Amino acid sequence: MKKNLLRHNVFFWDFDGVIIDSDQVRKKAFEDALSEYEDIKVKKLIEFHNKNGGLSRYIKLDYFFDKILKKTVSQNHLSELLSRYGEYCSNQLINNKYLFNETINFIKQYSKSKIFYIASGSDNVELNFLCKKLNIQKYFSSINGSPESKKDIVKRIINKHNYDLEKTCLIGDSVNDYEAAHHNKINFFGYNNTLLADIKGTNYIEKF
List, for residues 61-117, the tens digit of each pLDDT value: 999 999 999 999 999 999 999 999 999 999 999 999 999 999 999 999 999 999 999
Among candidate residues 189, 7, 200, 208, the one with its CA nearest the CA of residue 108: 208
Cα–Cα dist 8/170, whole Å: 10
Beta bridge partners of 187: 169
What is residue 198's predicted lDDT score, i.e. its pLDDT?
A: 86
Tens digits of per-residue pLDDT, 24-59? 999 999 999 999 999 999 999 999 998 887 778 889
